[in-house]
């Protein structure tokens, strides 16, 4: 009996009678082939959105932050909403690659590469906002504790905004290293497969001379495990630190001790929704249905259900404690009776509908395995999680302690344009990635082929387990 025994009750993770060569060929096909017309159309749209966003950013920086809809009461709105939204999306990638590796989930292997790419591209978008929402972004380097000519004037390490700098930059670098390490064998595969000398050169450089010796693989596995062990507390702490931006304050609704784990759960929830959105399209256009199967989509839906459930319980706790605290200010916080009936009632109900009510449908197995429905729900969750951050930031600030400072927020076209621009930028990066990178970790999928491949499972069923 080998260590590769798998219970027959488990569904196959690789469909069709695939061999190792088939996997390489399927994964390499989009890289070796040419982009079709629809790719160019989508790419152009994304690029235009990106350029438009870039214009908005340049306009903001050169004219002043006043071109946004912010006011004296609500100093953070779309900028930080988008920042938290993008960071949150980036969390699913690390969850899939690190946490699921620690939990030895074999199904992660078909989705981890794209999830990690999504992380990196999402964190890049997120990283824009802390810079561009500054009044004087050209002094941004002052946030770094660099010895200087002002008598070595340093930063104050007590601010969660400074912790953000460290959290986000560490997160981006570790994710990048983790992702790239995993890519080495796959780049090597493309290098060895391509006919074009130019591609051979490029992938030769990218793959760092990977030759796949036993010792290399041994080290590779160890590094992956160590990085996964480091990335897991990292992923928790990054969004925890993002949550500290609010929770350390004394603003009613922001100051809440549940924020650290609740933000992390929300990040995984929204991140998985984004993975679903991307992979459902990608499996279709890149012909990867045999690897990203309905089972993968169902598993991801189950993670969405779990984290959505945790988030829902956190909403309940917030709402309850808001009442239980007996503090009158708590009645205007984003999860309170006051918010549900106040001027931002639509944002409150958008949050409840998109994050709680609609995902409940995934409890039905038929809907959970329905690709179209999953796609729809995933989109709705993405919208809902944007509203969650908007509610937390804007609703809580709109009615703070002094009634004389109560006000509402109205975004300008620059707020909206910048957000659209980051979406465009994200898709520019992701579309380029989908054409040039092996989007499935073929080396990893090959390790589970003989235990979890449909063909091999059938062989075992026919000929016995031993």
Which positions lie near another protein, rule CB under 8 A? 1-3, 5-7, 9-10, 104, 233, 236-237, 240, 244, 247-250, 255-261, 309-310, 313-314, 316-318, 320-321, 324-327, 465
Between CA 432 and CA 283 the distance in angstroms is 16
- Residue 308: CB minimum distance to another protein, A: 12
SS3 453: strand
Nearer to another protein, 207 or 240 (CB): 240
Please say which residue, 41 or 225, places its beta carbon nearer to another protein.
225
Q: What is the end-to-end Cα distance of the chain in Å, rounded? A: 6
CB of 317 to another protein, least distance (A): 5
Nearer to another protein, 78 or 163 (CB): 163
For another protein, the closer of residues 328 and 343 by Cβ is: 328
- Cα 57 versus chain centre, distance: 23
Complex with another protein: residue 92 or 288, whichever CB lies closer? 92
Beta carbon of residue 219, minimum distance to another protein (angstroms, whole number): 16
In whole angstroms, the minimum distance from the beta carbon of 7 to another protein comes to 5
Q: Which is nearer to another protein, 7 or 372 (CB)?
A: 7
SS3 state of residue 12: coil
> Which positions ≥6 away from 228 have C-beta within 8 Å?
97, 98, 99, 101, 102, 178
Give the 3-state secondary structure of residue 310. Answer: helix
Q: How far apart are CB 287 and another protein at their closest, in Å?
A: 29
| CB proximity list for 166: less than 8 A, separation 6 or greater | none
Task: Provide the H-helix boundaries in 364-403.
Answer: 365-368, 371-390, 396-398
Q: CB of 321: closest distance to another protein in angstroms? A: 5
Q: How far is CA 72 from the centre of its chain?
A: 31
DSSP string, 213-230: -HHHHHHHHHHHHHHHHH
Min CB(238)–another protein separation in Å: 13
Task: Kindly tell me which of 35 and 305 has the beta carbon lying closer to another protein.
Answer: 305
Q: What is the CA radius of gyration of the chain?
A: 24
Q: Nearest-CA neighbor of 427 among 80, 168, 45?
A: 45
């Amino acid at each position: 009996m080998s260590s590769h025994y798998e219970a027959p009750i488990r569904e196959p993770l690789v469909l069709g009678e695939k061999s190792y060569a088939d996997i390489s060929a399927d994964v390499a096909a989009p890289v070796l082939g040419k982009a079709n017309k629809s790719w160019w159309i989508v790419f152009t749209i994304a690029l235009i959105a990106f350029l438009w966003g870039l214009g908005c950013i340049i306009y903001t920086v050169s004219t002043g932050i006043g071109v946004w809809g912010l006011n004296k009461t609500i100093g953070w709105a779309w900028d930080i909403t988008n920042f938290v939204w993008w960071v949150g999306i980036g969390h699913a990638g690390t969850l899939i690659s690190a946490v699921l590796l620690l939990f030895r989930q074999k199904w992660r292997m078909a989705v981890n590469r794209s999830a990690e790419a999504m992380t990196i591209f999402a964190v890049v978008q997120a990283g824009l906002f802390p810079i561009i929402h500054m009044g004087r972004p050209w002094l941004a380097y002052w946030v770094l504790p660099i010895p200087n000519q002002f008598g070595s004037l340093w930063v104050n390490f007590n601010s969660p905004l400074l912790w953000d700098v460290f959290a986000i930059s560490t997160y981006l670098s570790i994710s990048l290293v983790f992702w790239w390490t995993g890519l080495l064998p796959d780049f090597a595969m493309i290098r060895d497969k391509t006919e074009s000398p130019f591609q051979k050169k490029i992938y030769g450089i990218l793959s760092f001379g990977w030759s796949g010796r036993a010792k290399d693989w041994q080290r590779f596995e160890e590094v992956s495990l160590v990085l996964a062990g480091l990335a897991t507390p990292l992923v928790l702490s990054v969004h925890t630190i993002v949550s500290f931006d609010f929770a350390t304050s004394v603003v009613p609704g922001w100051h809440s001790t549940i924020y650290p784990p609740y933000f992390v759960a929300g990040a995984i929830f929204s991140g998985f929704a984004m993975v679903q959105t991307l992979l459902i399209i990608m499996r279709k256009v890149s012909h990867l249905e045999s690897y990203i199967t309905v089972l993968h989509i169902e598993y991801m839906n189950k993670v969405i259900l779990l984290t959505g459930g945790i988030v829902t319980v956190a909403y309940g706790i917030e709402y309850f404690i808001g009442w239980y605290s007996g503090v009158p200010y708590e009645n205007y916080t984003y999860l309170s009776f006051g918010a549900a009936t106040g001027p931002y009632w639509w944002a409150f109900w958008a949050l409840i509908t998109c994050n709680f009510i609609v995902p409940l449908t995934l409890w039905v197995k038929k809907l959970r395995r329905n690709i179209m429905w999953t796609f729809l729900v995933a989109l709705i969750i993405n919208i809902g999680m944007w509203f969650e951050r908007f509610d937390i930031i804007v609703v809580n600030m709109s009615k703070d302690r002094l009634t004389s400072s109560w006000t509402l927020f109205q975004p300008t076209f620059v707020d909206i344009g910048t957000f659209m621009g980051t979406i465009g930028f994200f898709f520019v990066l992701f579309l380029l990635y989908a054409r040039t990178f092996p989007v499935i970790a073929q080396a990893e999928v090959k390790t589970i082929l003989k235990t979890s491949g449909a063909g091999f499972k059938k062989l075992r069923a026919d000929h016995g387990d031993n």
